[in-house]
Amino acid sequence: MHGLTDNLEFRYVGAAVAAGSSIDNNSSRIDMAGYESVAFYTTITDSVDTGVATMTVQQSDADSDTAMAAVTGTAATATSAANDDLNGLGLIAELRRPTKRYVQATRTSATANIAFGEVIAVLKPRRKPASQGATISDTAFLSN
């Protein structure tokens, strides 16, 4: 069990978001029962000078979008200093040992247009080997 796919679960949890200066977009919620930590990854696909891209982890005891609250210290932020300078870069926000059962990533933009790519969640289960969820159609592993 030395491969990443034996030790981590990967999930697709959010679609790409078109450019906007006031985006507030949430990923799918994840039930953290049985998991130690989660890291969310998203790309920035377009940026305009002064645009601010942020991804934050939110959590709640309820499986409800309206009950979610941002977790202090999980905001990954990038500010565009020139048109297109953030294109192709990513944001990662991670939460270890959440204090609530459900989590989600929230992508926001401010000041000027930002566009985001998909959101991928990487989870560390308490039990190994990890099982890949329904959003993964197949895995392959080779160790030389």
**Structural domain range at position 24:** 4-125
Cβ(87)–Cβ(78) under 8 Å? no
Tokens of 143: 């160790």
Tell me the pTM: 0.95
Question: Is residue 109 one of the residues assigned to a domain?
Answer: yes
What are residue 17's DSSP bridge partners? 116
- Distance of alpha carbon 40 from alpha carbon 14, whole angstroms: 10
Question: Is residue 95 one of the residues assigned to a domain?
Answer: yes
Question: Is residue 97 one of the residues assigned to a domain?
Answer: yes
Question: Is residue 11 one of the residues assigned to a domain?
Answer: yes
Question: Is residue 132 one of the residues assigned to a domain?
Answer: no
What are residue 9's DSSP bridge partners? 123
| pLDDT for the residue 144 | 85
What are residue 103's DSSP bridge partners? 30, 59
The number of domains in the chain is 1
Tokens of 86: 């953030």
pLDDT, one tens digit per residue, over 124-143 is 999 988 889 899 999 998 88
CATH number where 72 lies:
2.60.120.260
pLDDT, one tens digit per residue, over 65-106 is 999 999 999 999 999 999 999 999 999 999 999 999 999 999
